[in-house]
Amino acid sequence: MKEIIEADNELKEEILKKFSPKREASELLAASYERLGYESKYERVNGCGTFLEFRQPVSDNDKKWRLHSANFCRDRLCPLCSMRRTYKIFGQISQIMNVIEDKYAFIFLTLTVPNCDAETLYKTLNNMQEGFRKFIKYKQIKRAVKGNFKSFEITRNKKNGTYHPHIHDILAVNKNYFNSRDYIKRDDWLKMWQKAMKNPSITQVDVRKCKSKGNKEGEAAAKSLRSAVAEVAKYSVKSVDYLIPNDPVLTDDIVFTLSAALNGKRLCSFSGVFEEGRKKLKLDDFENGDLIHIDNERLRSDVAYMIRRYSWSCGAYKLTEQKIETSVEIELIESEDI
């Protein structure tokens, strides 16, 4: 009984504190798309997450509500979809690192360039993608780095309206890297990034060692690893940077800039041992893949489920249906969905 109440409260909290605020923000984005005349984007985002279905096995000890079905729009800037994508990326990298951490140590690298304005953001992102491709192939880096997970983040300076694109990168290196001749000093990382970007005015490269779990500061190490993963997995662009309350003109201006700059770009990627780990775990693509079953866990179909369906109306999620279904009914529902 206690577990059931806890699971119920957890679900209510999740809807109220996670889904609802993001869905509200999605409405602001939809309104901006509508003003900008992006009709199909408006329709997709406006209808995003208006339906959520959660399931919980009746007989299992595992009393956890899991999202089973939803109508997500997958728009790059959609706050609701970005939240799902972030959880998914976080989950995937954590799983991969669990698999490969016995063999490798990890470095957390942040590569920046000087801020740019709205007009040059698209080009700057292209240059950074090109620059990173060169950078990662430099002999010294190739020798030391066994794989990486890279993600772009773009923040906006509220005071002067400039954009700050940067790359977060988790690099897998051999365990003995820090005491080996492969070790790369901070200045060398910076010099190579300047060279790859053909820009000597770059002054910032942040490089940190993620402590591994194996050492005596176990707990602190695990925390340091988790926070590094959280940093790379977070939204490419935070919605507070482009959905400006009570300022539709500025909001539209930024939304216009960002949707043009991000159009068709792949913002996260795996390589080397990260990619191998991903394949081994059979993880799907987080940019184009499933945003519903993000924890890679599927519900079994041979038990009965409690089902709760929520709909978004008048600015809040409302419970519209609650029932128990057996496996036979579930099969029917699933075939109808298809």
Nearer to Zn ion, 80 or 262 (CB): 80
Give the list of residues 6+ apart from residue 3 with CB closer than 8 angstroms, or none. 61, 63
- Between CA 181 and CA 204 the distance in angstroms is 24
For position 254 contacting Zn ion by CB under 5 A, the verdict is no
Between the alpha carbon of residue 305 and those of residues 7, 34, 42, 298, the distances in Å are 14, 39, 35, 13
Stretch that binds Zn ion, among 70-78, 92-100, 140-148, 175-183 (CB under 5 A): 70-78
DSSP character for 303? Answer: S
Size of the site for Zn ion (CB under 5 A): 6
For position 171 contacting Zn ion by CB under 5 A, the verdict is no
The CB-of-238 to Zn ion minimum distance in angstroms stands at 15
Site string for Zn ion, 187-226 (x = CB under 5 A): ----------------------------------------
Nearer to Zn ion, 78 or 109 (CB): 78
List the alpha helices (DSSP H) in the chain. Answer: 2-13, 20-36, 39-46, 79-100, 121-137, 139-144, 186-197, 218-233, 248-262, 272-280, 327-337
Among 52, 67, 73, 254, binds Zn ion (CB under 5 A): 73
For position 255 contacting Zn ion by CB under 5 A, the verdict is no
Nearer to Zn ion, 81 or 96 (CB): 81
- Between CA 161 and CA 298 the distance in angstroms is 44
Axis crossing angle, helix 218-233 with helix 79-100, rounded to the nearest 10: 140
Nearer to Zn ion, 48 or 262 (CB): 48
Nearer to Zn ion, 72 or 149 (CB): 72
For position 30 contacting Zn ion by CB under 5 A, the verdict is no
Residues 78-107 binding Zn ion (CB under 5 A) are 78, 80-81
Burial of 263 (0-12, 13-18, 19+ CB in 10 A): exposed
Query: Is 104 within 8 Å of 146 (Cβ atoms)?
Result: yes
The CB-of-78 to Zn ion minimum distance in angstroms stands at 3
Among 11, 15, 31, 48, binds Zn ion (CB under 5 A): 48
Element of type H or E holding 154: strand 145-156
For position 136 contacting Zn ion by CB under 5 A, the verdict is no
For position 258 contacting Zn ion by CB under 5 A, the verdict is no
Put the strands of the sheet holding 163-174 in their side by side order. 205-210, 104-112, 163-174, 145-156, 268-271
For position 330 contacting Zn ion by CB under 5 A, the verdict is no
Stretch that binds Zn ion, among 44-52, 116-124, 133-141, 224-232 (CB under 5 A): 44-52
- Between CA 208 and CA 186 the distance in angstroms is 9
Nearer to Zn ion, 27 or 276 (CB): 27
- Between CA 268 and CA 49 the distance in angstroms is 24
Residues near Zn ion, by CB under 5 A:
48, 72-73, 78, 80-81
